Chains A and B, each alone.
Chain A
Amino acid sequence: MVVDTSPPANWRYAKGLGRAFAGAVIFGLPILMTMEMWQLGFYLDRTKLLQFALVNFLVLGGLSRLSGFEPTVSWWQDLMDALSAYGIATLASLTVLAMFAVIDLSMPTSEIVGKVAIQSVPASFGAMLGAKQLGSRDEVGSDEERQRATYAGQLFLMMAGALFLGFSVAPTEEMILIAFRMSPLHSILLVAVSILLLHGFVYAVGFKGEEEPPGPTGFFSLFFRFSIVGYAIAVIVGLYLLWTFGRIEGTGIAQAASMVAVLAFPGAVGAAIARLII
Chain B
Amino acid sequence: MGKKKSSKDKPPPGPALLEWIAAGVGGVVALAMFGLLAAEAFSPAEYKAPILRVEPLAILPEGNSFIAEINVRNLSAQAAASVEIEGSIAGRPETSHVTLAYVPGGSERRAALVFAHDPRRGGLSLRVTGFEHP
Contact = CB atoms under 8 A, between A and B. Distances in A.
Interface of A: 1-6, 9-10, 12-14, 17, 39, 42-43, 46-47, 49-50, 53-54, 57, 77, 79-88, 90-91, 107-111, 113-114, 116-117, 120
B1 interface: no
Given A84-B22, A87-B22, A110 B105 contact: yes
A50 B41 contact: yes
A54 B34 contact: yes
A275 to B, nearest CB: 27
A82 B20 CA distance: 12
B39 to A, nearest CB: 9
B94 interface: no
B113 interface: no
A3 B27 contact: no
Given A87-B25, A107-B107, A120 B33 contact: yes
Given A13-B16, A49-B37, A2 B29 contact: no
**For this complex, into which size category does the number of interface residues on chain B fall?**
35 or more
Contacts of B36: 109-110, 113
B106 A110 contact: yes
11 contacts: A2-B13, A4-B14, A4-B17, A43-B102, A80-B15, A82-B26, A83-B26, A83-B27, A108-B104, A117-B37, A120-B33
A275 B40 CA distance: 37
Contacts of B18: 10, 13-14, 17
B79 interface: yes
- Name the prevailing secondary structure of the B interface residues: helix
Given A43-B79, A53-B34, A3 B23 contact: no
B84 to A, nearest CB: 18
B17 A3 contact: yes
B81 A111 contact: no
B41 A46 contact: yes
Interface of B: 11, 13-20, 22-30, 33-34, 36-38, 40-42, 77, 79, 81, 101-102, 104-107, 134
A39 B134 contact: yes
Contacts of A110: 36, 40, 77, 105-106
Contacts of A86: 26, 29-30
Nearest to A57: B30
Contacts of B37: 46, 49-50, 53, 113-114, 117
Given A2-B11, A90-B29, A107-B107, A42 B79 contact: yes
Contacts of A14: 18
B23 A84 contact: yes
Given A47-B41, A83-B23, A116 B16 contact: no
